[in-house]
Amino acid sequence: MIDIATIEDLAFGRFGTFDVACPVCGPTKRKPASQRKSVLRIWRLERSFATYHCARCGERGYARDDYGKPQIARAKFERRLAAARAEAADRERASAAERLAKALWLWRQRKPIAGSIAGKYLRARGYRGVLPTTLGYSATW
């Protein structure tokens, strides 16, 4: 298990994805080149949390900084998540209103199908029933 301090040293305090020498299996290798081979991938996007996986020895896991007050980080995460959900709901409401306005506009632009070229088309295609008043067409398309 690799701790967050070791990951901090291996990543030189930076954030991102890094390939470095594995501190677990690297020292056991005989050749210096094999000891320095970059086989450990580190994903570090936050200061207090990182995940890692070694392609050579299979060591994998995560490291986190427990003294960094995880409750505060959790509360911050929950606030950000609630804000993101609220923003998504607002976007969805705006999108639904826009779609409804478009549907109403199209409904108001429709022409009755009875006695029109569209009605004649349906009759020519074999429809013999009553043409409902809810059927319409747009002559502008």
- Say how many CA atoms lie within 13 Å of 87 toward its Cβ: 6
pLDDT band for position 141 (cuts 50, 70, 90):
low
- Say how many CA atoms lie within 13 Å of 126 toward its Cβ: 0
48 burial level (CB within 10 Å; 0-12, 13-18, 19+): middle
pLDDT at 69 over 60: no
Q: What is the pLDDT of residue 75?
A: 76
Q: What is the pLDDT of residues 78-109, one digit of tens each?
A: 888 899 999 999 999 999 999 999 999 998 98
Q: Are strands 16-21 and 38-46 parallel, antiparallel or unpaired?
A: antiparallel
Q: What is the pLDDT of residues 19-61, one digit of tens each?
A: 999 988 888 888 888 888 889 999 998 888 899 999 989 888 8
